[in-house]
């Protein structure tokens, strides 16, 4: 149950609209309307309050309570989700933190997100595409999409060779100490715990994540103004990313250049030898560069796609791996690092030149060694 949607406690709402209604796990609850309302009135089950309770533990018989232990016990408190008016009609304990831990209410986080989006995008400029709780009300999340700018294409739609990108602005509030509350831009729509983790990883990698720890007075940093500031910056950065991809599409690259570039990326900067593992990866990525999904083997954009496909769904995430292992390696492991490194080198003229020259030398030396051994 990797989605961590606990039946009878958690709800994941989606709009009753064809584009957003379905999720991969099929456990969504569609709103009666075709949209999730900005005031949260049609998603009540995810906005129940978190409450703070005193804690009076009963220790094992015979255990002596000295002043030090008593001080420790007095510093504990219980955080619980008050879902008496929610799906379960119960109160659920979720966390036992020390004094100083501050609750970030789901309703306040939701309101700040909506108000910041209205400020930056306008009331008609976005829609809420998911909102839910996970892991027995321990996590709360929201995803919004920007109308007109939530997707963009790189390639030629007329001949069917184009890639589609979607951008989401996500919110996460964790009530069990696993995560800080955070607001982020990601290319992942949150619908479950797997996608929450992938969105966090994606946003951390791209530097599009604003975190607020559950410390004393931290609620001062949870405001529509602070969220709006980040959202405005990320919206601008997303336009920059789009232009970078379009620029890569315009930069020609042939197969020999792709191999040299790949050898440079997949080797250490001071290396004087290309490993067998790296050479095998390059051999497998050649076909992806030329005829991978949406590729034609003509540009630096095709090179980026080859790395992305190889380390997302290809053998770069393990030939014998299970589906869940492949997802983990593609989003959180070394595979993600290789994809990010390829993008960094491709978009930096000096780094691209250095990497390609080193890769060309390593491939030449490898060919000489193979010829000598024969």
Q: Output the tens digit of pLDDT for each of the chain's 374 residues.
A: 578 999 999 999 999 999 899 887 889 999 999 999 999 999 999 999 999 988 777 778 877 778 887 787 777 899 999 999 999 999 999 999 988 899 999 999 999 999 999 999 999 999 999 999 999 999 999 999 988 665 555 554 344 444 555 789 999 999 999 999 999 988 889 999 989 988 898 788 778 899 999 998 998 999 999 999 999 888 777 666 777 888 898 899 999 999 999 999 998 877 778 888 999 999 999 999 998 877 889 999 899 989 888 887 555 434 444 433 333 333 333 456 777 788 889 989 999 999 999 999 999 988 888 877 76
What is the pLDDT, as a whole number, of residue 153? 53
In a domain, residue 149? The reply is: yes
Residue 27 in contact with residue 44, Cβ under 8 Å? no
CA neighbor of 102 nearest in space, from 178, 50, 172, 44: 50
Residue 7 lies in a domain: no
Within this chain, do residues 234 and 255 fall inside the same structural domain, yes or no?
no
Domain boundary, last residue among 182, 215, 240:
240
Q: Indicate whether 3 belongs to any domain.
A: no
The residue written with tokens 């008050």 in the block is 82
The DSSP call for residue 49 is P
Report the pLDDT value the prediction gives residue 239, as an integer from 0 to 100: 67
Question: 156 forms bridges with which residues in the sheet?
Answer: 161
Verify that 201 and 348 share a domain, yes or no: no
Residue 183: how many other CB atoms lie within 10 Å: 26
The reply to whether 72 and 208 lie within a common domain is yes
- What is the reported pLDDT for 10? 97
232 and 266 within one domain: no
Q: Which of 240, 270, 304 is the last residue of a domain?
A: 240
Res 147: pLDDT: 82
Question: Does 256 share its domain with 208?
Answer: no
Position 34 scores a pLDDT of: 94
Q: Does an H or E element contain 82, and which?
A: strand 78-83
In terms of domains, do 271 and 206 share one? no
Residues 6+ apart with CB under 8 A from 1: none
Residue 215 maps to a domain: yes
Residue 52 has φ and ψ, to the nearest 5°, of: -105, 125
Q: Which of 186, 212, 240 is the last residue of a domain?
A: 240
Tokens of 75: 């510093």
Establish if 302 belongs to a structural domain.
Answer: yes
Q: What is the number of structural domains in the chain?
A: 2
Residue 152, pLDDT score: 54
Q: Which two tokens stand for residue 297?
A: 């083997």
Q: Is residue 306 part of a domain?
A: yes
Which structural domain range is residue 133 located in? 12-240
- Residue 57 Cα to chain centre, angstroms: 38
Is the residue at 246 inside a domain?
no
365 with 273: CB under 8 angstroms? yes
363, 272 Cβ separation under 8 angstroms: no
74 with 127, same domain? yes
Whether 48 is in a domain gets the answer yes
Domain co-membership, 207 together with 178: yes
pLDDT of residue 370: 80
Same domain, 60 and 186: yes
Residues 19 and 83 in one domain: yes
Residues 235 and 268 in one domain: no
pLDDT at 59: 75
pLDDT of amino acid 159: 42
d(CA 126, CA 109): 17
User: In terms of domains, do 137 and 225 share one?
Assistant: yes
């Amino acid at each position: 149950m990797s989605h961590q949607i606990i039946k009878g406690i958690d709800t994941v709402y989606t709009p009753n609209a064809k584009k957003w209604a379905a999720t991969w796990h099929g456990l969504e609850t569609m709103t009666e309307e075709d949209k999730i309302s900005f005031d949260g009135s049609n998603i009540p089950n995810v906005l129940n309050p978190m409450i703070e309770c005193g804690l009076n533990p009963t220790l094992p018989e015979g255990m002596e309570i000295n002043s030090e232990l008593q001080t420790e016990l007095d510093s504990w408190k219980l955080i619980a989700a008050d879902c008496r008016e929610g799906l379960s009609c119960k109160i659920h304990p979720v966390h036992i933190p020390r004094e100083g831990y501050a609750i970030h209410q789901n309703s306040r986080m939701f309101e700040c997100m909506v108000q910041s989006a209205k400020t930056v995008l306008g009331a008609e400029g976005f829609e809420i595409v998911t909102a839910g709780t996970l892991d027995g009300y321990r996590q709360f999340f929201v995803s919004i999409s920007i109308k007109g700018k939530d997707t963009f294409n790189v390639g030629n739609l007329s001949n069917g060779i184009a890639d589609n990108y979607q951008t989401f602005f996500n919110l996460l509030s964790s009530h069990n100490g696993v995560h800080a509350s955070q607001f982020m831009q990601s290319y992942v729509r949150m619908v479950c715990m797997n996608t929450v983790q992938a969105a966090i990883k994606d946003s951390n990698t791209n530097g599009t994540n604003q975190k607020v720890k559950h410390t004393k007075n931290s609620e001062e940093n949870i405001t529509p103004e602070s969220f709006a500031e980040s959202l405005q910056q990320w919206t601008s950065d997303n336009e920059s990313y789009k232009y970078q991809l379009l620029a890569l599409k315009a930069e020609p690259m042939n197969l020999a250049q792709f191999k040299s570039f790949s050898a440079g990326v997949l080797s250490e900067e001071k290396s004087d030898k290309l490993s067998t593992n790296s050479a095998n990866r390059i051999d497998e990525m050649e076909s992806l560069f030329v005829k991978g999904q949406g590729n034609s083997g003509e540009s630096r954009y095709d090179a980026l796609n080859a790395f992305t496909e190889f380390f997302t769904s290809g053998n770069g995430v393990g030939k014998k791996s299970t589906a869940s292992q492949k997802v983990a390696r593609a989003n959180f492991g070394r595979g993600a690092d290789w994809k990010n490194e390829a993008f960094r080198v491709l978009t930096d003229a000096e780094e691209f030149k250095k990497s390609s020259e080193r890769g060309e030398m390593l491939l030449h030396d490898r060919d000489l060694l193979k010829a000598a051994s024969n």
